[in-house]
Copies of this chain bind each other. A is one copy, B any other.
């Protein structure tokens, strides 16, 4: 069960202004990847690197030559055949507005249900939540009677997501769907997207410029980067990894990013109402976090950014840092001339910490050494957990 793509695209600059510039400004993009069709795959890359191009290729909106797209058992595109977009049910949420301006929000939502989905019920492995629920989740319930041109940018993004979900897609392709949303709405929506992907078994490709977002939500990662050889520069799909694995592997491209994070599986042990904290148990040790609106006993996945973890040789009681966990250094890797990343083992799990080379040298840290990992509770916002329960 996977989404397999292989392509080699050249977009020529032919159709543009003839007066200025040379003819070698074509855009090249090639790659091959196989993405598990479960969970959320984050797609990351700089602006103009080809993320939208990739999603359009998967959705079947552009027909490039020498391209192979297979989804599970179905062949969507190969040298002989090309399955048109409306038969793929790969709902794409565009970066720009694509809601129908002549219909109200409500009718936009009913649109795909009324015209599309009824014809292909056989693929509906899962029954997604109904319209009312989705509208509630995505905070658009009051917008239903409004005309599309009355919506703010963030509102139309949310409506687009719900509209796409109501079309009962086989896969959801999201092109920076939360770019125009405030942090608070973002968290809510990320959580619901994750929930939907998990509980209703709907695979998603999630394009974002924010690795924070991606590490919060994604299970897998697709990195697109630009490579220059001679005078043509070319986009390639550079890395593909399970995000959980990536977070434990200092050699993955992911660890080099400023947003590198570790994923910890913990259980909510107890709420400390007096201090507004939740106590999580992590193997033998405990962690304090700002109070979560989850029942005691719930298991969660906690994302801990490496840059928020510092290392201390001793267990000090004079620091405001609440979480001081005994850990063992497993691996050390230099990332730049200033930065090193350290992989720490805490019980059966791993934590990452980026510190300066200077500190590493000053503290004389070595693999195998027992240290204390310090995590500021405040640095872990209340929304930094990923899911309510595990697969």
Interface residues of A (CB under 8 A from B): 11, 13, 15-17, 19-21, 25, 45-49, 51-52, 95-97, 104, 106-107, 142, 144-147, 150-155, 158, 175-176, 179-186, 209-211, 258, 272-273, 275-277, 288, 290-291, 307-308, 310-314, 316-322, 336-339, 353-363, 365, 374, 376-379, 381
Q: Which residue of B lies closest to A317 (CB)?
A: B362
Q: Are B358 and A277 in contact (CB under 8 A)?
A: yes
Given A17-B145, A356-B378, 18 new contacts (CB under 8 A): A11-B150, A16-B104, A16-B145, A17-B106, A47-B155, A47-B182, A48-B155, A52-B153, A176-B180, A275-B358, A276-B356, A277-B356, A290-B336, A290-B356, A291-B337, A320-B353, A320-B363, A356-B377
B-chain residues with CB within 8 Å of residue A378 when the two chains form the complex: 307, 339, 354-356
Cα distance A106–B17 when bound, in Å? 9
When the two chains form the complex, which single residue of B155, B316, B322 contacts A314, counting CB atoms closer than 8 Å? B316
Q: How far is the CB of A3 from chain B (nearest CB, A)?
A: 22
Cα distance A107–B19 when bound, in Å? 11
- Best-surrounded residue of A182, A321, A338, A361 (most CB of chain B within 10 A): A338
B-chain residues with CB within 8 Å of residue A20 when the two chains form the complex: 104, 106, 144-145
21 contacts between A and B (CB under 8 A): A13-B146, A17-B145, A21-B142, A45-B182, A47-B152, A48-B152, A153-B176, A176-B180, A179-B179, A181-B209, A275-B338, A310-B374, A312-B318, A314-B316, A317-B362, A320-B360, A322-B358, A322-B359, A339-B378, A355-B378, A356-B377
Cα distance A58–B358 when bound, in Å? 50
Cα distance A323–B97 when bound, in Å? 46
Q: Which residue of B lies closest to A356 (CB)?
A: B377
Q: How far is the CB of A307 from chain B (nearest CB, A)?
A: 5
Cα distance A307–B380 when bound, in Å? 9
Q: Are A276 and B336 in contact (CB under 8 A)?
A: yes
When the two chains form the complex, which single residue of B211, B316, B339, B365 contacts A312, counting CB atoms closer than 8 Å? B316
Q: Are B377 and A13 in contact (CB under 8 A)?
A: no
B-chain residues with CB within 8 Å of residue A180 when the two chains form the complex: 47, 95, 176, 179, 209
B-chain residues with CB within 8 Å of residue A150 when the two chains form the complex: 11, 13, 15-16
Q: Are A322 and B379 in contact (CB under 8 A)?
A: no
B-chain residues with CB within 8 Å of residue A186 when the two chains form the complex: 209
Cα distance A319–B194 when bound, in Å? 36
- Best-surrounded residue of A13, A45, A107 (most CB of chain B within 10 A): A13
